[in-house]
Amino acid sequence: MKSVKGRVAAITGAGSGIGRATAELLARNGCHVALSDVNEQGLAETAEKCRGHGVRVHTARVDVANREAMHAWAGDVARELGAVHLVINNAGVALGATIEDTRYEDFEWLMNINFWGVVHGTKAFLPHLKAAGEGHIVNVSSVFGIIAVPTQAAYNAAKFAVKGFTEALRQELEVEGLPIGVTCVHPGGIKTNIARNSRSIPRRGWVGPNSSADFEKLFATTPERAASDIRSAILKNRRRQLIGSDAVVVDLLQRLMPTLYQRLLVAGARRRWRKMMLSEDPSS
């Protein structure tokens, strides 16, 4: 796809963060947008920004974990906007907890959104991209789809799964010679509210009241930069897009030390665990 002007893009998780920034950038470039989120206020704000660029905007409150709702939304978008050319499966949530403490219900909640949401978005819109005669699918994974870290097992599992699913999808479409590109996006720390709005299960030495805030201090890349990189990946039909210098470093670390990186993370986590244990010790 050489241009997004006049095309139609469907974006999940469009109420904030990367989803909002990508929707606004595409609209600024003349792309009509279909926006979904469970946050209706944020969704309305994004829609208003996009309409300011003179494009058609379709909005719907959709839970990406709901298969029937996603397929119904895809049909509505195709009918109302005439076609669908781009799909950006961006919606996601976070969970901080050890594997021992993670409840099955929390694991299912995260997987239903972060992994099944991508599957639903892909399968619901793929027939419409084929009907349009061209298209591109962007599935948002994470640097945590490249390396694993303590207290993020559920998130790691979902994002690793998105990576595998997306790469297999791209290969299948290429085998059939279809003009539909597929990109797996691996953002590093993006300045969004995903950590602040995450679920967490406190555990002494592992997950504390300041864990999310401490994690957010590592976020260095803006959503606008992420949106720009995503647009570039679409136009250049990249298989994979790293976002942020931290993502580049993480990817390099995993390539050079595919197992040793775990020892480095364990050493850092152990120091943090000891510090938290001391700070949370009532007798200290």
Q: Which pLDDT tens digit goes with each residue over 134-152?
A: 999 999 999 999 999 999 9
pLDDT of 195 above 80: no
- Over range 187-200, report the average pLDDT: 75
pLDDT of 50 above 50: yes
pLDDT given at position 284: 45
pLDDT tens digits for 150-187?
999 999 999 999 999 999 999 999 999 999 999 999 99
**74 token code pair:** 């895809």
pLDDT given at position 86: 98
pTM score over 0.85 = yes
The CA distances from residue 146 to 49, 189, 240, in Å, are 33, 13, 12
Mean pLDDT score of the chain:
92
Residue linked to tokens 């119904």? 72
pLDDT of 128 above 50: yes
Higher pLDDT, 139 or 192: 139
The DSSP call for residue 239 is S
pLDDT of 282 above 60: no
227 backbone dihedrals φ, ψ, rounded to 5°: -60, -40
% pLDDT > 90, the chain: 82
- Over range 21-33, report the average pLDDT: 98
- Over range 219-225, report the average pLDDT: 88
In the three-class reduction of DSSP (H, G, I as helix; E, B as strand; rest coil), residue 2 is classed as coil
pLDDT given at position 196: 60
From the candidates 125, 155, 215, 261, which is the catalytic residue?
155
pLDDT given at position 147: 97
pLDDT given at position 103: 95
What domains appear along the chain, each with residue ranges and CATH number? 8-247 (3.40.50.720)
87 backbone dihedrals φ, ψ, rounded to 5°: -130, 125
Please tell me the least confidently modeled range out of 3-12, 93-102, 261-270: 261-270
**16 token code pair:** 């904030």
Residues 6 or more apart whose Cβ sits within 8 Å of residue 115:
157, 158, 161, 162, 165
The CA distances from residue 80 to 3, 71, 109, 116, 283, in Å, are 21, 14, 31, 25, 64
Triad 270, 271, 277: Cα angle to 5°: 85
Residue linked to tokens 């943090």? 272
pLDDT confidence tier of residue 81, bands split at 50, 70 and 90: very high
pLDDT of 281 above 90: no
Higher pLDDT, 107 or 279: 107
CB 166 within 8 Å of CB 150: no
Helices (H), the chain: 17-28, 40-51, 67-81, 104-114, 116-132, 153-175, 211-216, 223-235, 245-256, 260-279
pLDDT of 197 above 80: no
155 is catalytic: yes
pLDDT given at position 77: 98
Burial of 49 (0-12, 13-18, 19+ CB in 10 A): middle
Strand partners of residue 242: 186
Q: Could you give the CA distance from residue 143 to residue 225 in angstroms, rounded to a whole number? A: 16
pLDDT confidence tier of residue 100, bands split at 50, 70 and 90: very high
